[in-house]
Homo-oligomer: A and B are copies of this chain.
Amino acid sequence: MDSHQLLIDHISEIVSLDDSIKSLIRERFIPRHLKKKEMLLYKGDVSHHMRFIAEGCLRNYNIDENAQEHILQFAVKGWWINDLYSYLTETPATFFIQALEDSVVLQISKNELTKLFDEAPALERFYRIKFENAYVALQNRTIHGMSKPIEERYSDFRNTYPEIEQRVPQFMIASYLGITPESLSRVRKRMSSK
């Protein structure tokens, strides 16, 4: 399926779009192709685009003072990826975004998107709902990440993102869960033995 059709179907799951809006979406969302390991956004740069993944897999991560990587989000086809705060406030990004596989993202600049909102209120509604979801997803992660034992967090991850588990190296999943690769390896062993 072509990238734009995927995006249109994705949006249409939440709001209905008439044909003129669909055309606008096809015009204004620009495909960008990324090689594996290519960076989509650097920490410190301003994120000027809203980005939809049409193909591939990316990660959103931070590098702390001790040069330790911490993965915040994985995203695959049909997801959105961004440093939302940077995008919203037009301040330097606090994360990196990198392709983990050859990927295609459809991106639209904030200016263009703002204009599009005037022409297509349905689209604005779509984003409002997306933002709400983003907020609550983050909130759930904050709460649950807090208390639950690793074993449980790992199986939650597997259940929530079955596609991702297959495609992402294990040490990155460990980073996402906030544990060492060694610990994850042991958790897996424990879990498989029963």
A residues sitting closer than 8 Å to B (CB atoms) are: 62, 64, 68, 70, 72, 84-85, 88-89, 94, 131-132, 134-136, 138-139, 141-143, 145-147, 178
Contacts and interface: CB of A to CB of B under 8 A. Distances in A.
Given A142-B145, A147-B178, A178-B147, A135 B68 contact: no
As for how many copies of this chain the complex holds, the number is 2
Contacts of A145: 142, 145-146
Nearest to A83: B139
A135 B132 contact: no
Contacts of A142: 72, 138, 141-142, 145
22 contacts: A62-B143, A64-B147, A70-B147, A72-B143, A84-B135, A84-B136, A84-B139, A85-B132, A85-B135, A88-B132, A88-B135, A89-B132, A89-B136, A94-B143, A131-B131, A131-B135, A134-B135, A135-B135, A142-B142, A142-B145, A145-B146, A146-B178
